[in-house]
Homo-oligomer: A and B are copies of this chain.
């Protein structure tokens, strides 16, 4: 028995079902070259092996961490090269961590303002809505 991991192939949406990933999304990943093209049955249906599943799970988990598909492509390349990928992978992840922190900061700014205006609106019976006034107000009111 070789190491080709062709023990059992998954069909009828089993891959999608097992991973929780939409089948359309799996095919999209294949189309953009993130997943390899699986072998086909005589009728043309895709027959995935466990190595496909493993790679798909990698992609899914990386997406859950917010990596872009291009970053994931890079991470997969590094993972396969097996030539000291850790330093480079760390750079990709650290850059992404910076992005995530910047997004959190942006959203927290939004949250603070939104919380304030919603509170100012109170029960919504004010004649002049503070939310609308805030949006109309010039940044530097004279």
Interface residues of A (CB under 8 A from B): 54, 57-58, 61-62, 64-66, 75, 78-79, 84-91, 93-94, 96-97, 100-101, 103-104, 107-108, 110-111, 113-115, 117-118, 121, 123-132, 134-139
Contact = CB atoms under 8 A, between A and B. Distances in A.
A4 to B, nearest CB: 18
Copies of this chain, complex-wide, total 2
A115 B123 CA distance: 41
- Of A85, A86, A101, A121, the most chain B CB neighbours within 10 A belong to A86
Judged by DSSP, the binding face of A is helix
A58 B135 contact: yes
Contacts of A66: 107, 110
Contact of A101 (B111, B113, B138): B111
Nearest to A101: B111
